[in-house]
Structure 1
């Protein structure tokens, strides 16, 4: 199976799991807080950590497109963000890791506000 097909298949599985997790969280915990998003971000980051080590230990890098980019990428891109931040930190690039985290959060929220503003101005 080509890497692109692995990513596409995994993305469908991950996105479906994210959707179902959101529904379950809303039913179990209520809709007043984004529990589903919090749960998938934490679970996805945990699973990314497990997969990085497992794939290295068992020479399973050929499954990375399906499992990491596809399933976890469809489940939550926060897991990829978390891995990138920790990788920078573990390389000793602590300042760069902090800049990446702060920049990602601040710029992403800022971009969301900009998108809202643009879309509202057009309607």
Structure 2
């Protein structure tokens, strides 16, 4: 049963990541990976809220498997973040590569903290 929850979440998260990245690239161009940054930060926020909800007893471990492991696992992408950062560095955009690396880590951690704080405010 658990694997099915992860599978269903992943089936939603992967296409959502792709469609979000395509839409953002279409709107803002391909010079900087805004779409990947957006899905990674959104995934961190969702996972922060979800973790806080599970810790408060407001969500079950099954919901965590579906949304946390499945959806967020497929929505977020460390490999594409790494690839895009290296692509920026190799094409001479070292400032953008550094901004992507630092911005992704700071924004992702910040979103997770904000998500957990929101969950605590809602359910504790």
Structure 1: 5+ residue stretches without partners: 87-123
TM-score normalized by the length of structure 2: 0.59
TM-score normalized by the length of structure 1: 0.59
Root-mean-square deviation (Å): 2.1
User: Are residues 38 and 59 of structure 1, via their aligned partners in 2, closer, same or farther at CA, if it must alter by over 3 Å?
Assistant: closer
Return the index of the structure with the highest Cα Rg: 1
Relative contact order higher in (CA < 8 Å, ≥ 6 apart): 2
User: In 2, Cα distance between the equivalents of 1:40 and 1:66?
Assistant: 17
User: In 1, Cα distance between the equivalents of 2:29 and 2:70?
Assistant: 29
The runs of at least 4 consecutive aligned structure 1 residues that moved more than 3 Å come to none
Q: Does 1:76 align with 2:84?
A: no
Match of 1:10 in 2: 9
1:80-95 matches, cutoff 5 A:
none
